[in-house]
Structure 1
């Protein structure tokens, strides 16, 4: 158990009308590059991971009688402090560029 870092986990739902393929491509290719390019991210984020829902796995989970997550994706953001994470998500450039782009693909 790491005690020298803090993490937040974010869950995402794609907008209706967006295909899984388009959502995954945007989030994995375009969004991650845009997010990682910001100076505030380079300064504060120590680790950024994505996980994308897998329809085959979700079907198998459902067929096994288990609950299937309604989310299409998740991200883990890791930083040295909670204040460092807060600095990223309250940064003006993040809000203007990254958060605005997310609105095209993510439910809020």
Structure 2
């Protein structure tokens, strides 16, 4: 499985709270609403950094992790009409498209302890 990580910065003038709310309450459901998400996406996670004393201030406002079984599934998803016409146009409403940092990872889980 391939993990695609996208580091994103909110648009100018958008508060941190509005950015998080938009990402979680609007964009993520929109992303999941297209049939291609059900078919090709294996896992979809949105995260937002928390400022903690003793750690540097976050350089990005959000992290999106999307897991696909293959590059073919990734390419099919992102070239689909639904993604291009419904999801992609929404992205510029809350993050700076020209400042996205992307990583493709082959994730190896070393330990996964679920807290009850």
Q: Which runs of 4+ in 1 moved over 2 A?
A: none
Deviation at 1:92, TM superposition (A): 1.5
TM-score normalised by L of structure 2: 0.78
Partner of 2:9: 13
Between Structure 1 and Structure 2, how many residues are aligned? 97
Cα distance in 1 for residues equivalent to 2:58 and 2:42: 27
TM-score normalised by L of structure 1: 0.83
The answer to whether residue 49 in structure 2 is matched with residue 53 in structure 1 is: yes
Structure 2 residues not aligned, in runs of 5+: 98-116
Q: Which has the higher helix share?
A: 1
The answer to whether residue 102 in structure 2 is matched with residue 102 in structure 1 is: no
Partner of 2:23: 27
Cα deviation 1:10-58 (Å, max 9, x = unaligned): 111000100111110010111111101111111000101111021x32x
Aligned to 1:61, what secondary structure does the other structure show?
coil
Aligned to 2:54, what secondary structure does the other structure show?
helix
* RMSD between aligned residues: 1.2
Aligned to 1:8, what secondary structure does the other structure show?
strand
Structure 1 residues not aligned, in runs of 5+: 63-67
